[in-house]
Amino acid sequence: MIESRSDAYAAAGVDITAGYESVQRIKKHVESTFTPGVIGGLGGFGGLFMPDLQDMDEPVFVSGTDGVGTKLKIAFLMDKHDTIGIDCVAMCVNDIICSGAKPLFFLDYLALGKNSPSLVEKIVSGVAEGCRISGCALIGGETAEMPGFYKEGEYDIAGFCVGVVDKRKIIDGSDIKAGDAIIGLASSGVHSNGFSLIRKILNVNRNTLSVRYDELSCTLGEELLKPTRIYVSAVLKLSRSVRIKGLSHITGGGFYENIPRMLPEGIRASIDTHSFPSLPIFEIIQKKGNISSRDMFNTFNMGLGLAMVVDSADVGTAMCTLTQLGEHPYLIGTCIEGDPGVDLW
C-alpha cells in the first residue's frame, strides 16, 4: 500500500492541512496591506509588484532585511504574538528610510516547530499592521514547519523589503557640514536590540515578566514587548518641507556604532545625553546590571530610535512638523569638525 504524501509528512511531524488553513487565515491580513502596485494575490510562486515611477527621473531601489532577534523569547514566555511582526517590519523599513526610500513591498519568512494556524495568524497580523503603518504591501512570504529544529510553540521570523527613491533625493550624508543640527526621535522603548543582555540581567522568565516596577506603568513583559516604532511616514512627510541631510536608525550598537554611519569624512557628532528623557526601562537595566553609561549607549537606543541631521536654519520647521506628525523630537546635538564618530556628554 502506497502511503499518501500527507500521511507520510504527518508521521514526520509536518501537518500539510494546517499549512492550508494558515494560508486561509492570513489572507485577509495580507490583502489589507495591498497598494495600487500589487499585481495578483496570495498564493503565487512569486510576489508581483509594479511601482509607479512616473514622477522619478532616476529611480533607485533600496532593499533591507532583518529579524527580531531574541525578543522572540519574550513573546514565547508571554504567549503574545500579535505585535512581534510589527518589529520585523520596523527593523527593515526603518533601515531603508535612512536612504530616503519609500517602502514598496515586504516579504516575510516564518519558521515554526509546529504549524499552528491560530499562531501563524497572530504573527502575520502583526506583520500586516507594520506594513500598513509604513505604507508597503505584504506581497508574499514563506511559512516553514520544521519539527525537531524549533520547539513546539517557538519560531523565528525575518523580513525583506524593497523601497524606491529618486537618485537626486538619496539621503547619504554627503553634504553634512559642521554646525548642522542633530534631531532625535523618541523610541517606544527597547525596540528589538539587546535582548540577550536584558534576559540575562533581569533573569527573564514567566515569573519575572509579570513583575511591576514602580518606574513602569505596566508589567516588565508588557514593557519589553512594546513594538518598535516605525518612522517612515514622519520622514517622508518631513522631507517635503525640510532637506534631511542624514538619517541613522539606532539599533544594535547604539549611538556609538549607528550615529557615525550617516556622517561624511571630517565630521563627527556632538550629542548632549541630557537633552532627551531617559526611559525608565533603561534605568532599570543599567542599575540591575551595573552597566556603565558608555556600554548602555553602545548597546541600546536609550530612548531615541532615529537620529537625523538638518541645517541649523531648518531646526524650527523640522521640530514643529515632526511634533504635528505625532513624533516626539528632541534637539540633541550638533555636527562638528573631526574624525567620523560621536562624542556623548
Asked if residues 295 and 159 have their Cβ atoms less than 8 Å apart, the reply is no
Task: Let me know whether 148 and 48 are in one domain.
Answer: yes
| CATH number of the domain residue 153 falls in | 3.30.1330.10
pLDDT tens, 77-88? 999 999 999 999
Query: Residues with Cβ < 8 Å from 1, sequence gap 6 or more?
Result: none
CA atoms in the 13 A half-sphere facing the CB of 331 = 15
- 174, part of any domain: no
Task: Let me know whether 224 and 281 are in one domain.
Answer: yes
Q: Decide which of 136, 167, 198 is a domain's last residue.
A: 167
Task: Let me know whether 192 and 160 are in one domain.
Answer: no
pLDDT band at 11 (very low <50, low <70, confident <90, very high): low
Mean pLDDT (whole number) for 203-210 = 96
Q: Which of 140, 134, 143 is nearest to 97 (CA)?
A: 134
Task: Let me know whether 188 and 301 are in one domain.
Answer: yes
3-state SS assignment for residue 293: helix
Task: Let me know whether 106 and 130 are in one domain.
Answer: yes
Q: Which of 311, 344, 187, 158 is nearest to 250 (CA)?
A: 187
Task: Let me know whether 190 and 270 are in one domain.
Answer: yes
Task: Let me know whether 159 and 232 are in one domain.
Answer: no
Q: How many structural domains are present in the chain?
A: 2
pLDDT tens, 151-203? 999 999 999 999 999 999 999 999 999 999 999 999 999 999 999 999 999 99
Residues spanned by the domain of 268: 181-344
Q: How far is CA 170 from CA 70, 120, 215, 243, 307, in A?
A: 32, 36, 41, 11, 16
> How far is it, in rounded angstroms, from Cα 224 to Cα 148?
28
**Residue 78 identity:** M
- 285, part of any domain: yes
Q: Which of 67, 227, 226 is nearest to 132 (CA)?
A: 227
Query: Phi and psi at residue 280, in whole multiples of 5°?
Result: -55, -35
pLDDT tens, 229-282? 999 999 999 999 999 999 999 999 999 999 999 999 999 999 999 999 989 999
CA atoms in the 13 A half-sphere facing the CB of 293 = 6
Task: Let me know whether 99 and 191 are in one domain.
Answer: no
Q: Decide which of 145, 167, 189 is a domain's last residue.
A: 167
Q: Decide which of 116, 136, 167 is a domain's last residue.
A: 167
pTM of the shown model = 0.94
Task: Let me know whether 142 and 223 are in one domain.
Answer: no
Task: Let me know whether 122 and 212 are in one domain.
Answer: no
| CATH number of the domain residue 222 falls in | 3.90.650.10
Asked if residues 170 and 100 have their Cβ atoms less than 8 Å apart, the reply is yes
Instruction: Report the sign of the C-alpha dihedral through residues 23, 25, 28, 34, in that order.
Output: negative
- 176, part of any domain: no
